[in-house]
Amino acid sequence: MASQKAAKKAKTLAFESERLPRPRFMRPALLLMVPSEHHLRLAAQIGVTDIVCAYPGSSYEEVAALQAKIAAFGLRMTVIERLVPHDKIVHGKAGREEQIENFKTLIRSMGRAGVKTLCYNWMPADDWSRCSVTEPERGGALVTNWIEGQVSALADEEGRAHDDGTATSAEQLWLNLEYFLKAVVPVAEEAGVELALHPDDPPVPVLRGKPQIMYNVAAMERAAQLVPSPANGLCFCQGTFASGGEDVLAGIRRVAPYIKYVHFRDVVGAVPHFQECFQDNGKTDMAACMAAYKEAGVRDVAIRPDHVPTLDGEENDHPGYEMLGRLWAVGYINGMMDTIEHGAKRAKKEEAELSQPGI
């Protein structure tokens, strides 16, 4: 009986191994702040290959333990994003060197554990900001918005650096960024880890009296060129650039060589008032954006949905990051990538047929 059960289990595992997600030109990913077994199982079932996690600590043991937990579900953690302590680095305050050393330790640990990308930001207040988390979208789904001059409606998450009121000039923010990159990029190169800088969200030059510098594509390009290296890259957050009124398609083409990670979302409106939406219900031609990534040579990077609507039955305890909207969005992203791939293959086939003699 025991041998029959073992044989059945082996057969089941073999069958499951044949049902792995099909390879695509970008890797579908989900951010799981605290990856539960339930959410990891859902991610594996819907065709996600990559898991994005918040900062677990900088030691190899902490990073490797999280990687092992995720690998048990046939997935891999390839990005660490959010909550890495860096407020003193951004503002050039006492304690900056200790935080830089922590970054270096984290990068080395990531390299050892096979985590490819470290997404960070240069936001003076550490993280994104919104004014409402209960705006109605299609069918009564709930989304966030931002209106210039109103207060933030997002509660501090555990581990988020609290805003102490420090305002640093734009010029000094640039100098601090260059100092940071010169310190950590060589470590990233050695470890085989890529840095991916996220733009300021909301993308405005001054937020609540504090200068910001990463609020448009031109600034992001400048950051990538401060310390030229394959390890010094960008996170292309479509929704941020759309909410800043930028030409998202032109932006993709402009900074494609530096793109190491993609946030695939959209908005309606723009600064000074914008609102999140379903990926298929905003102002941006999302299919054209997906095609632009492929045409511009953006390959083998993680792409994840971001700031999704909260759907019926969900508590909205984590605005933008409840699960149902993200499950829907992954299907949208995967279907769009498959369509782009099919169109490219068809065009190539037709071109080959037309080039044949006698046709």
Task: Flag whether 186 is in a domain.
Answer: yes
**Which two three-digit tokens encode residue 269?**
């409106």
In whole angstroms, what is the distance from residue 145 CA to residue 135 CA? 7
Task: Flag whether 7 is in a domain.
Answer: no
The pLDDT of residue 165 is 72
Beta carbons of 34 and 53 less than 8 angstroms apart: no
The pLDDT of residue 173 is 98
The pLDDT of residue 353 is 64
In whole angstroms, what is the distance from residue 322 CA to residue 327 CA? 9
CATH number at residue 260: 3.20.20.150
**Residue 345, exposed/middle/buried by CB under 10 A (0-12, 13-18, 19+)?**
exposed
Task: Flag whether 162 is in a domain.
Answer: no
**Which two three-digit tokens encode residue 349?**
């086939």
Euclidean distance between the first and final Cα of the chain, in Å? Answer: 65
Domain count, the chain: 1
The pLDDT of residue 223 is 98
In whole angstroms, what is the distance from residue 86 CA to residue 91 CA? 9
Per-10-residue mean pLDDT, the chain, length 359: 57 54 91 94 96 98 98 97 95 97 98 98 87 96 94 58 75 98 98 98 93 97 98 98 97 98 98 97 97 96 97 95 97 96 74 66
**Residue 335, exposed/middle/buried by CB under 10 A (0-12, 13-18, 19+)?**
exposed
The phi, psi pair for 301, rounded to 5°, reads: -120, 155
Task: Flag whether 3 is in a domain.
Answer: no
Task: Flag whether 1 is in a domain.
Answer: no
Task: Flag whether 11 is in a domain.
Answer: no
Helix H or strand E segment including 101: helix 96-113
Task: Flag whether 230 is in a domain.
Answer: yes
Q: Which domain holds residue 201?
A: 21-157+168-354
